[in-house]
Amino acid sequence: MELKKIRNRNFEKYNSIGREEIDAAQRVLETGVLSAFVGAWGDGFSGGQQVQEMEYEFAKFFGVKHAVAVNSWTSGLIAAVGAMGLEVGDEIIVSTWTMSATATAILHWGLIPVFADIDKGTYCIDPDSARSLITKRTKAIISVDIFGQSSNQEELQAICREYDLKWISDSAQSPNATRKGVRLGTLSDIGGISLNYHKHIHCGEGGVIFTNDDDFALRMRLIRNHGEVVLRDMPEDQMPSSTSHILGYNFRLGEVEAAIAREQLKKLENLTQRRSLIAEKLTLGLNGLKGLVLPTIDKGNSHVFYMYPLNLDLSQLGVEREQVCAALEESGLFPLERGYENLHLLPIYRQLDAYGSSKFPWSLNDSFDLRNYQRGSCPVAEKLNEHTLFLMPLCAYELTDEDVDDVVSIFHHVWEVFGWKN
36-49: pLDDT as tens digits: 999 999 989 999 99
What is the per-residue pLDDT across 340-390, written as a single tens digit (0 to 9) for each? 999 999 999 999 999 999 999 999 999 999 999 999 999 999 999 999 999
What is the per-residue pLDDT across 260-286, written as a single tens digit (0 to 9) for each? 999 999 999 999 999 999 999 999 999
Residue 103 CB burial class (10 angstroms; 0-12, 13-18, ≥19): buried
State what percent of residues in the chain have pLDDT above 90: 98
The per-residue pLDDT for 328 is 98
Helix residue spans in 109-194 (DSSP H) = 127-132, 153-163
The per-residue pLDDT for 422 is 67
Fold of 19-263: Aspartate Aminotransferase; domain 2 (3.40.640)
The model carries a pTM of 0.97
| Bridge partners of residue 168, in order along the sequence | 142, 190
Neighbours of 2 (CB within 10 A): 4
Cα distance between the two ends of the chain: 15
Q: What is the CA radius of gyration of the chain?
A: 22
Cβ–Cβ under 8 Å, residues 169 and 19: no
Q: Tell me what the pLDDT averaged over the chain comes to.
A: 97
Whether the per-residue pLDDT at 137 is higher than 80: the answer is: yes
What is the per-residue pLDDT across 10-37, written as a single tens digit (0 to 9) for each? 999 999 999 999 999 999 999 999 999 9
What is the per-residue pLDDT across 277-332, written as a single tens digit (0 to 9) for each? 999 999 999 999 999 999 999 999 999 999 999 999 999 999 999 999 999 999 99
Phi, psi of 310 (to 5 degrees): -130, 135
The CA distance from 144 to 340, in Å, is 13
**Domain ranges for the chain:** 19-263
Q: How confident is the model at residue 66 (pLDDT cuts 50, 70, 90)?
A: very high
